[in-house]
Amino acid sequence: MGDAVPTVWQFGPFARGLSAVERVARLRTLRAVVMMHCGPRVDVVARALDLAEASPDAEQLAIGALERLPSLDRRRELATYRRVSEAPPTARVS
């Protein structure tokens, strides 16, 4: 991933400084969220995320596919991704 990724998209799998393993894990999480919410009507997005998994050079394709989702779908996907990928709260021991 290079500086070509717009700042607004530098989060999750598109964040700077991720290890390859972490980047792939985040792409797979985002793909799972997209597929669960939208199903087969977002096959283009899922395929673009697959390509980005194989090559960081394809991240722009994935971002473009996400940007072309209807706005409500895109907001739901990104909000759900954020929720499932955030660190769990620290468990309190009584």
Q: Tell me the chain's radius of gyration from C-alpha atoms.
A: 14
Torsion of the alpha carbons at 64, 47, 85 and 20, rounded to the nearest 10: -90
pTM: 0.82
Q: Residue 1's pLDDT is what?
A: 45
Alpha-carbon span 66 to 19, nearest angstrom: 22
Hey, where are the domains in the chain?
Answer: 19-82
pLDDT tens for each residue of 17-58: 999 999 999 999 999 999 998 888 889 999 999 999 999 899
pLDDT at 93 over 70: no
